[in-house]
Chains A and B, each alone.
Chain A
Amino acid sequence: MKYNVDEKGYYGEFGGAYIPEMLYPNVEELRQNYLKVMAEPEFKKEFDQLLKDYVGRPSPLYFAKRLSKKYNTKIYLKREDLNHTGAHKINNTIGQILMAKRLGKNRIIAETGAGQHGVATATVCALMGLECIVYMGEIDIARQAPNVARMKMLGATVVPATSGSKTLKDATNEAIRDWINNPVDTHYIIGSVVGPHPYPDMVARFQSVVSEEIKWQLKDHLGRSQPDYIIACVGGGSNAAGAYYHFLDTTDVKLIAVEAAGLGVDSGESAATSVLGKEGIIHGSKTLLMQTNDGQITEPYSISAGLDYPGVGPMHAHLYKSGRAEFISITDDQAMKAGLELCQLEGIIPAIESAHALAVFKNKSFKPDDLIVLSLSGRGDKDLETYINHFNLA
């Protein structure tokens, strides 16, 4: 079994490019060029340099001593939260902005849910002096005011998506429509390992720096090049794809994907796509998605705005269906408690997305000598208000 993408853009039966003809030239241009561009020494050099000097990579691989003690196992945290802009998202936007420049594009569009990818895109557009338009659901704009302000400070135009359910999936639809309307000068920076091929593969490759570093950092720390487990949260799945990437075919490294159960998988308020989803097409990709029996895409729920996507990247759909990764659903409440626990044990305030991954330790037991790497995908500053409300901290 092969777990990475094949030459046609599929992960097993998932993936592909189910796009209207209007998008074909844009997507085809990217498909024909992305591997070639990424292989250019000049491109690599510029990408690596920016990751180092601008993003602050490599991100530390930190042995969480007190957390490990509490759960009687060995836990290392991959500190993507320490990246510039506070999450792993910037790895991808740096890569894609360089790609856009190589392809001669001068106008950048992006979708955003909570605003993290929007901020990461606005940041690299400011860095490169390119026009930036971010589509964001009207409802998300209202509930994520600080990130809207950040994007505006960085010079981006934030356009409200007022169609459908007015959240992330609709913002993605609007970005796709913009791309249809502007097929020549515009590059669409998708924020996760979703969308039509080659996006899932391209984004996974840009994020793969995470597992590349994990490999040599483990060697430095422990003289080993692989952990026993990698744990990551999955919304669309880009931080998980990055953390898994170089271990996909090393099957003695066990992969754990953590989805948001919201109020519980059976509550009707959930984002656990692997449990609740069925095979179908969303945003140009064949994958698992939450939908009605009639094939209408439904609105997911999670306390974490970064995990409430109704689909999941095709790589993850394949990892789920093939059994390569174990999928675990974590509720809002479990995640919030795990987030607070990390604050108190390690002095790190995690993003609520990452807190879902941390909640695995209360729900699954590991052996004392298991070596676990957990992708701490983002920092919790953006989530303070949610933490305050949840724990009555004010």
Chain B
Amino acid sequence: MENRIKQKLKEEQKILSIYFTAGYPIINDTVSILEALEQNGIDMIEIGLPFSDPLADGPTIQASSTQALKNGMTTTLLFEQLNDIRDSVSIPLILMGYFNPILQFGVEAFCKKCQEIGIDGLIIPDLPVDVYYENYKSIFEAHGLINIFLITPQTSEDRIRYIDSISEGFIYMVSSASVTGSQSGFGDEQTNYFRRIQNMNLRNPQIVGFGISDHTTFTQATTHAKGAIIGSAFIKHLSKNGVSKISEFVKSILG
């Protein structure tokens, strides 16, 4: 079977992807959140593996990670929760987490578990491109996992080309020089950056993340890119409304 991320990206429409931290707000919500997201037409999901020291994340995701860990979330528990997920959820699933918990689980064991469950890709912000390429690429590939790399407005053109050349699936385009959840609306600077990347005609489609929180920012991001990822705004919604009102959130984004 072809990787679900690649299949999804072949479809015409723009992609709306949602990030949430596993174990937040309630430890056993993972499966119901995933099912609700799929039922409401979300195209792809990033499941966050909480970490004690998430240094690329802003206050919202940090707080959700701290709470998830307090709730008792662990790598092993998350895998248990996801064990039968492919019975009810068919859209691409990506695990997103920092490298240390994965290293402690064992990179190969982690990838094996992901494959058994039906995870399609990984986003590991603090696993550098070169280290991945030299040490882990073959392990990921052997388990059918796509590793997603990030670029930012500060990433040089050469480096973007390099990252594009070793990427599969899509490139995670960080909207601005910031941690997650710190933007309110995009200005000319971001639009110019989106346009600049669009004009590079990369092999891989780009999906924009960081700073997308509503219909306006979703539209701005997807005008120049294949899709957008929403994290902090969804977590805020979850903490206020729990799982029951996910449809309202999705409607507010898609307009």
Contacts and interface: CB of A to CB of B under 8 A. Distances in A.
Interface string B72-111: 0011100000000000000000000011111111000000
A56 interface: no
A296 B55 contact: no
A33 to B, nearest CB: 16
Contact of A180 (B56, B76, B98, B155): B56
Contacts of A163: 59, 62-63, 66
Most buried by B among A170, A173, A295: A295
Contacts of A170: 53
Q: Interface size bucket, B side?
A: 35 or more
Contacts of A180: 55-56, 177-179
A300 to B, nearest CB: 13
A22 B74 contact: no
B52 interface: yes
A181 B178 contact: yes
A22 B56 CA distance: 8
Contacts of A20: 55-56, 125-126, 150
A248 B1 CA distance: 54
Interface in B165-202: 174, 177-179, 182
B156 interface: yes
Interface string A271-292: 0000000111111100000010
A24 interface: yes
A82 to B, nearest CB: 36
B126 A281 contact: yes
A390 to B, nearest CB: 31
A164 B62 contact: yes
Most buried by B among A164, A176, A279: A164
A184 B98 CA distance: 25
Given A20-B126, A163-B66, A164-B66, A283 B55 contact: yes
B126 A19 contact: yes
Contacts of B149: 21
B151 interface: yes
Given A22-B177, A293-B104, A294-B75, A17 B128 contact: yes
A147 to B, nearest CB: 24
B69 interface: yes
Contacts of A16: 128, 131
Contacts of A25: 152, 154-156
Interface of A: 16-22, 24-25, 163-164, 169-170, 173, 176-177, 180-184, 278-284, 291, 293-298
Given A18-B99, A180-B178, A278-B104, 18 more contacts: A16-B128, A18-B127, A18-B128, A20-B55, A21-B152, A22-B174, A22-B179, A163-B62, A163-B66, A177-B55, A180-B56, A181-B179, A283-B53, A283-B55, A291-B104, A294-B75, A295-B75, A297-B100
23 contacts: A18-B99, A18-B127, A18-B131, A20-B126, A22-B150, A24-B154, A25-B154, A25-B155, A164-B66, A173-B53, A173-B54, A176-B55, A180-B178, A183-B152, A184-B154, A184-B177, A281-B99, A282-B100, A283-B55, A294-B104, A294-B105, A296-B69, A297-B52
